[in-house]
């Protein structure tokens, strides 16, 4: 079967994808760098980077709001487009579209700086989006936060036309925490 005839279920099966807890979507690890780097401000060594396949589908259309300490670069493999909503530490917000319609301003690659929050949303008319992501330095469980609450809403509501309280709550999804 040609890759161009794959659907979301084919990719999930062939790549061995499974549900990503908390964030939603499907993923599998691809690689982890053998090069080690020092974590800023500590004596800890981390792999220079790691990569995963990540899939949004009709069943899992949102990658819920989360924060990473590391840089996270997303690359479109197939499908899309996907809306990327990012939130910076100083209150800045950004909306980009990962997709193949370059004339419409879509991008094949969306880099997200470390220490930013992000949420992804598959366009409703799209059956899926398969991406590869590269995190530098590597992703570790203790350097991610999933979900937010009132503090996040207060900081980012109204920062852009699309940043309404209701929409931000949709991006947080089931990970809304009253105290956060």
Q: CA 39 → CA 30, 45, 88, 139, 140, distances in Å? A: 22, 6, 21, 12, 11
Which residues on adjacent β-strands are paired with residue 110? Answer: 74
What string of pLDDT tens digits covers the 180 residues of the chain? Answer: 555 689 999 999 999 999 999 999 999 999 999 999 998 888 999 999 999 999 999 999 999 999 999 999 999 999 999 999 999 999 999 999 999 999 999 999 999 999 999 999 999 999 999 999 999 999 999 999 999 999 999 999 999 999 999 999 999 999 999 775
Contact in structure between 23 and 63 (CB atoms under 8 Å) = yes
Nearest to 7 by CA among 129, 124, 171, 109: 129
Alpha-carbon Rg of the chain, whole angstroms?
Answer: 16
* The model scores a pTM over 0.85: yes
Q: In the chain, what are the domains? A: 3-146 (2.60.120.10)
């Amino acid at each position: 079967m040609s890759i161009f005839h794959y659907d979301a279920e084919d990719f999930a099966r062939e790549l061995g994808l499974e549900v990503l807890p908390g964030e939603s979507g499907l993923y599998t690890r691809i690689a982890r760098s053998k090069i080690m780097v020092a974590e800023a401000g500590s004596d800890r060594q981390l792999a220079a980077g790691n990569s995963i396949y990540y899939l949004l589908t009709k069943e899992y259309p949102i990658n819920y709001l989360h924060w990473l300490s590391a840089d996270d670069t997303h690359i479109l493999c197939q499908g899309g487009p996907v809306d990327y909503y990012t939130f910076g530490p100083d209150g800045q917000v950004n909306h980009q579209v990962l997709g193949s319609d370059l004339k419409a301003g879509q991008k094949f690659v969306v880099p997200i700086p470390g220490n930013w929050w992000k949420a992804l949303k598959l366009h409703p008319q799209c059956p899926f989006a398969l991406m590869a992501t590269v995190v530098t330095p590597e992703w570790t469980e203790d350097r991610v936060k999933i979900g937010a609450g009132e503090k996040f809403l207060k900081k980012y509501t109204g920062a852009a036309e699309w940043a309404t309280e209701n929409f931000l709550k949709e991006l947080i999804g089931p990970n809304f925490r009253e105290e956060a």
